[in-house]
């Protein structure tokens, strides 16, 4: 795992990894230890756990005229960051400096909240500015804590590095400009032996307006910086030992996977695994950079290595199972749909106008029905849009009905080369049959590393537990078992 002198390492620490004094002490030790082998380090950090949600709730409540959440968030900002400063930053000059910066940022937040309250509106642009505050405070406190531990750390706002468009709350980076800006700002710091501590999650438009990168934004920031520097490795530090075979809250015997392909982890992340967000992986894949997922609270554990290879089966039926909750299944059905071109295009064009994602699609071979999954919170709007846009077909009787199920769960199994391995699908569905699970819909074929199944909410845990048993190595039958089977 060690790097050669002169090589570059980007490390990202998530909200739980910087969420307490003890966690930040771990970060101090990890950065100091890694510096022995990696003289060029960039540290990307998230806001302290829970802070971003508090900031957004404050802004949205202020727009409704309720300022109490704002006051609670200001108290939390002071208390949580002050406790770290008092415990870990001992130099009076450093303490005074970071406290002044903390007060200035909180004062900016106060001004924003007052303006939101007066206008009665929190636009996406304003929400990005508000939600960026957690990271902007975090980097200053953590950089000071690292300096107090003898490390030459300097806080850097990613607004100076990551250039994006103005799609607020889910901005798209401009890699060409980001590369140029990152080289100008970070390269001199790395040459001088400094450790840049960079805000995750945020960027800026060409005119300097703050943007955020959406879900998984800090991982995305680390991957972007790793790609444009370029780094030799990117390590994502979180609160678990890596990517696991299942959610350990559902399957206590879940294990850490030592290695996964990027394709496999993309499927897992897309369908519910919280360790990485799919888009955060892309810059690393394209740059051919090694990515590892490791545990801040168990740094001796090697974690999970992510590679651009095909992936190894290791004698198991599947490698992992994950769940995507909070979904509904929509079905559009009618005998008049048979052989009519453009029906599917019209259905999904209508759904696209709502901004909802469609993670799973399946269609009857007769073309008389089409089923797809959407988030529960978008279901009412989708029902209305489909009935409106397909009104003429419904009136003519070409479409009999458009309907949605109650809440369901998409459960996905992942294993390399699944499409070409004999008996895998049979063992999966046999396991579900033995567990008494009824599968509502299936999607397979578009990916050669996964099969996705839709089950009821009530069957979710049973499904995951039954499928997880297939992550155990397949035991070879004894001669006696073969004789009497």
Distance of CA 390 to the CA centre of its chain: 35
- Name the average pLDDT for the chain: 89
Answer yes or no: is pLDDT of 337 > 80. no
Whole-number Å distance between alpha carbons of 138 and 432:
46
The residue-averaged pLDDT of 145-169 equals 97
Q: 319 with 467: CB under 8 angstroms?
A: no
Q: 197 with 45: CB under 8 angstroms?
A: yes
Phi-psi region of 193 (alpha: psi -120 to 50; beta: other; left: phi over 0): left
Answer yes or no: is pLDDT of 476 > 50. no
The residue-averaged pLDDT of 379-399 equals 91
The distance in angstroms from the start CA to the end CA of the chain is 47
Higher model confidence: residue 20 or residue 311?
A: 20
At residue 349, the pLDDT reads 92
Answer yes or no: is pLDDT of 32 > 50. yes
Backbone angles phi, psi at 166, to 5 degrees: -105, 30
The residue-averaged pLDDT of 461-465 equals 96
Q: How far is CA 301 from CA 4, 170, 210, 297, 304, in A?
A: 21, 33, 37, 9, 9
Higher model confidence: residue 11 or residue 394?
A: 11
Closest to 41 in 3D by CA, of 49, 28, 54, 31: 31
- Structural domain boundaries of the chain? 8-239, 311-485
Answer yes or no: is pLDDT of 191 > 90. yes
Answer yes or no: is pLDDT of 33 > 50. yes
pLDDT digits (tens, 9 = 90+) for 292-306: 999 999 999 999 998
Coil, helix or strand at residue 272: coil
Higher model confidence: residue 215 or residue 22?
A: 22
Answer yes or no: is pLDDT of 472 > 70. yes
pLDDT bin (cut points 50, 70, 90) of residue 141 is very high
At residue 267, the pLDDT reads 82
Residue 276: count of CB within 10 angstroms of its CB: 27
At residue 367, the pLDDT reads 58
Closest to 73 in 3D by CA, of 58, 86, 59: 58
Answer yes or no: is pLDDT of 214 > 60. yes
At residue 4, the pLDDT reads 41
Q: Give me 144's structure tokens.
A: 């000071």
Helix, strand, coil share (%) of the chain residues, nearest 5: 45, 20, 35
Whole-number Å distance between alpha carbons of 185 and 344:
49
Whole-number Å distance between alpha carbons of 51 and 72:
11
Phi-psi region of 445 (alpha: psi -120 to 50; beta: other; left: phi over 0): left
Phi-psi region of 423 (alpha: psi -120 to 50; beta: other; left: phi over 0): left
Under CATH, which architecture does the 311-485 domain have?
Answer: 2-Layer Sandwich (3.30)
Closest to 218 in 3D by CA, of 142, 275, 256, 152: 275
pLDDT bin (cut points 50, 70, 90) of residue 118 is very high
Give the position of tokens 């800006």: 181
Closest to 306 in 3D by CA, of 324, 283, 290: 290
The residue-averaged pLDDT of 332-345 equals 78
Whole-number Å distance between alpha carbons of 27 and 267:
29
Counting residues of the chain whose pLDDT is more than 70, the rounded percentage is 92
pLDDT bin (cut points 50, 70, 90) of residue 431 is very high
Check whether domain 8-239 has CATH 3.40.1160.10, yes or no: yes
Per DSSP, the chain holds a count of helices (H) and strands (E) of 16, 17
pLDDT bin (cut points 50, 70, 90) of residue 312 is low
Q: Give me 177's structure tokens.
A: 């400009």
pLDDT bin (cut points 50, 70, 90) of residue 423 is confident
pTM: 0.84
At residue 475, the pLDDT reads 54
Listed ranges 68-77, 234-243, 250-259, 311-320; the one with the highest mean pLDDT: 68-77
Distance of CA 306 to the CA centre of its chain: 15
Closest to 139 in 3D by CA, of 154, 124, 127, 129: 154
At residue 14, the pLDDT reads 92
At residue 309, the pLDDT reads 66
Answer yes or no: is pLDDT of 324 > 50. yes
Whole-number Å distance between alpha carbons of 92 and 440:
63
Mention every residue, 6+ apart, whose C-beta is less than 8 A from residue 27.
13, 17, 18, 142, 145, 146, 237, 296
pLDDT bin (cut points 50, 70, 90) of residue 485 is very low
Answer yes or no: is pLDDT of 3 > 50. no
The residue-averaged pLDDT of 392-417 equals 89
Answer yes or no: is pLDDT of 82 > 80. yes
pLDDT digits (tens, 9 = 90+) for 342-383: 788 889 999 999 989 899 998 776 658 899 999 999 999 999
pLDDT digits (tens, 9 = 90+) for 52-80: 999 999 999 999 999 999 999 999 999 99
Least confident of 179-183, 386-390, 473-477: 473-477
Q: Give me 46's structure tokens.
A: 């998230």
Least confident of 123-132, 187-196, 333-342, 365-374: 333-342
Least confident of 62-71, 95-104, 385-394: 385-394
Least confident of 112-116, 232-236, 361-365: 361-365
Helix (H) or strand (E) holding 454: strand 450-456
Least confident of 163-167, 375-379, 419-423, 463-467: 419-423
Whole-number Å distance between alpha carbons of 156 and 158:
6
Higher model confidence: residue 448 or residue 110?
A: 110
């Amino acid at each position: 795992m060690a790097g050669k002198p002169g090589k570059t390492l980007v490390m990202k620490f998530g909200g739980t990894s910087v969420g307490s004094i003890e966690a930040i002490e771990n970060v101090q030790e990890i950065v100091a230890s890694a510096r022995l082998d990696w003289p060029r380090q960039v540290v990307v950090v998230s806001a302290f756990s829970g802070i971003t949600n508090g900031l957004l709730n404050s802004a949205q409540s202020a727009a409704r005229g309720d300022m109490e959440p704002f006051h609670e968030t200001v108290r939390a900002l002071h208390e949580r960051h002050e406790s770290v400063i008092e415990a870990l930053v001992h130099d009076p000059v450093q303490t005074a400096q970071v406290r002044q910066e903390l007060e200035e940022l909180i004062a900016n937040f106060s001004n924003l909240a007052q303006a939101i309250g007066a206008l009665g509106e929190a636009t996406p642009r304003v929400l990005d500015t508000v939600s960026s505050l957690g990271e902007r405070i975090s980097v200053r406190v953590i950089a000071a804590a690292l300096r107090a531990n003898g490390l030459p750390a300097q806080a850097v706002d990613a607004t100076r590095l990551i250039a994006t468009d103005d799609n607020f709350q889910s901005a798209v980076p401009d890699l060409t400009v980001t590369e140029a800006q990152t080289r100008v700002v970070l390269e001199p710091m790395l040459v001088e032996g400094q450790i840049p501590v960079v805000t995750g999650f945020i960027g800026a438009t060409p005119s300097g307006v703050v943007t955020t990168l959406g879900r998984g934004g800090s991982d995305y920031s680390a991957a972007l910086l790793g790609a444009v520097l370029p780094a030799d490795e990117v390590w994502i530090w979180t609160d678990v030992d890596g990517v696991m075979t299942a959610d350990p809250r559902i399957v206590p015997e879940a294990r850490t996977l030592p290695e996964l392909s990027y394709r496999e982890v993309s499927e897992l992340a897309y369908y519910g695994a919280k360790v990485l967000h799919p888009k955060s992986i892309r810059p690393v894949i394209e740059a051919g950079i090694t990515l590892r997922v490791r545990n801040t609270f168990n740094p001796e554990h090697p974690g999970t290595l992510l590679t651009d290879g095909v992936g190894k089966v290791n004698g198991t039926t599947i490698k992992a199972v994950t769940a995507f909750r909070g979904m509904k299944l929509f079905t559009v059905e009618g005998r008049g749909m048979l052989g009519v071109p453009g029906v599917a295009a019209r259905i999904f064009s209508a759904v696209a106008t709502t901004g909802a994602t469609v993670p799973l699609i399946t269609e009857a071979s007769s073309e008389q029905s089409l089923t797809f999954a959407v988030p529960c919170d978008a279901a009412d709007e989708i029902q209305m849009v489909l009935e409106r846009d397909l009104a003429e077909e419904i009136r003519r009787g070409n479409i009999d009905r458009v309907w949605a199920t109650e809440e369901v769960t998409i459960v996905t199994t992942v294993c390399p080369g699944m499409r070409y391995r004999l008996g895998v699908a049979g063992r999966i569905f046999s396991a579900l049959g033995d567990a008494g699970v009824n599968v509502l819909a299936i999607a397979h074929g578009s990916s050669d590393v996964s099969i996705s199944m839709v089950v009821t909410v009530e069957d979710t845990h049973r499904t995951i537990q039954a499928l997880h048993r297939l992550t155990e190595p397949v035991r070879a039958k004894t001669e006696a078992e073969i004789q009497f089977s």
